[in-house]
Amino acid sequence: MQTRVVERNHDFVSELGGEPVTYGDGLVDRIRALAPGGVDAALDFVGGEAVDVSRQVLKSPERVASIVDVAAVEKGGHHVWVRPDPAGLTALAELADQGKLSVHIDRALPLAEAAEALRISRDGHARGKLVLTVGER
Ligand SMILES: NC(=O)c1ccc[n+]([C@@H]2O[C@H](COP(=O)([O-])OP(=O)(O)OC[C@H]3O[C@@H](n4cnc5c(N)ncnc54)[C@H](OP(=O)(O)O)[C@@H]3O)[C@@H](O)[C@H]2O)c1
Is the Cβ atom of 65 under 6 angstroms away from ligand 1? Answer: no
What is the pLDDT confidence band of residue 5, given thresholds at 50, 70 and 90? low
Contacts of residue 89, defined as CB under 8 A and 6 or more positions apart, other chains included, come to none
What is the rounded distance in angstroms from the CA atom of residue 49 to the CA atom of residue 66?
A: 12
Q: How confident is the model at residue 7 (pLDDT cuts 50, 70, 90)?
A: confident
Distance CA(45)–CA(131), nearest Å, equals 20
Q: Kindly state if the Cβ of 68 falls inside 6 Å of ligand 1.
A: yes
pLDDT, one tens digit per residue, over 47-84 is 989 999 999 999 999 999 999 999 999 999 999 998 99
67 CA distance to ligand 1 centroid (A)?
A: 9
